[in-house]
Amino acid sequence: MLINEVQEYLNIEDVNKYFGETKVLHGLTLHIKQGEFVAIVGRSGCGKSTLLRLIAGLETPTNGSIKMQGEELCGINKKIRVLFQEARLLPWKRVIDNVKLGMQKENTSIAKQVIHDVGLEEHNDKWPDILSGGQQQRVALARALVAEPEVLLLDEPLGALDALTRIEMQQLIEKLWLAKKFTAILVTHDVSEAVALASRVIFIDHGKIAMDIAIQLSRPRHRNNDFTYYEKKILDQIMGNAESVIEDTKKLEYAI
């Protein structure tokens, strides 16, 4: 595959998104390579989850375009799956049947294999409500991956988990990404999580890209001085933008 073909895998060009009169995304342009792991960080309301929903086909841009391999994305695309913060399992279906919901054509052996991949092979016939929160997210992850999507969108999927379970899930997601080679786009408030998982971190501020940084760390990643360098660099940018907004607000109040 040629380099320019890789670079043109997922193209978001000059996208604006309004909700009523509120403009959430401002001419956002982003190019994602096939197989990349991209993390999107930013404060609440900055537009990061809106961007993910646009890629997923759950929302449509007010204007601008989102293309995958040169074709406009219109509505839900079977090549793209989403893992949300809530597992959203059906309580009246057992684990394996919840996973099968992600399949175009039901196949029990494939479903069992993916359940094995997420470490729940002994839970095939259990009901969701007896599983822990981390186990439920593993089921949701298996359901998202069972159809072998090309793109996995992760919308704060670990936000409700305890610290130890969160680290375990980070390691599992990284392991599956390396093995299955899908393109991953993670939305998170946690800068440490972004650095731990992503090959590239995007900081969105007020609907615009304020930072785009490659994370050049070997895998598996360890929280050493190099790791801390990237954490601090991203946090400094986030806090710097926040201080700039506060200062501008003070100037406006003074002028009034």
- Local mean pLDDT, 10-residue blocks, the chain (256 residues): 56 96 95 97 92 95 95 92 95 97 94 97 96 97 97 94 94 97 96 97 96 96 95 94 48 40
The whole-number pLDDT of residue 75 equals: 87
The whole-number pLDDT of residue 235 equals: 96
CA distance linking residue 231 with residue 16, whole number of Å: 29
The whole-number pLDDT of residue 242 equals: 58
Tokens of 66: 């989102």
Within 87-132, residue ranges assigned H as helices are 95-100, 108-117
Q: What share of the chain is helix, strand, coil (3-state, %, to 5)?
A: 40, 25, 35
Strands (E), 34-182: 37-41, 63-68, 71-72, 80-83, 151-155
CA distance linking residue 118 with residue 31, whole number of Å: 30
> Do residues 66 and 212 touch, judged by C-beta distance below 8 A?
no
In DSSP notation, 212-233 reads EEE----SS---SHHHHHHHHH
CA distance linking residue 105 with residue 180, whole number of Å: 20
Sheet holding 22-32, edge to edge: 22-32, 10-19, 63-68, 71-72
> Do residues 120 and 138 touch, judged by C-beta distance below 8 A?
yes
As assigned by CATH, the class of the 3-79+150-223 domain is alpha beta
> Do residues 39 and 198 touch, judged by C-beta distance below 8 A?
yes
Q: 91: which residues sit within 8 A by CB, 6+ positions away?
A: 127, 128, 129
CA distance linking residue 73 with residue 70, whole number of Å: 9
The whole-number pLDDT of residue 240 equals: 86
The whole-number pLDDT of residue 5 equals: 43
Strands 22-32 and 208-214: unpaired
pTM of the full predicted structure? 0.90
* Domain extents in the chain: 3-79+150-223, 92-148
Tokens of 86: 């809530």
The whole-number pLDDT of residue 4 equals: 45
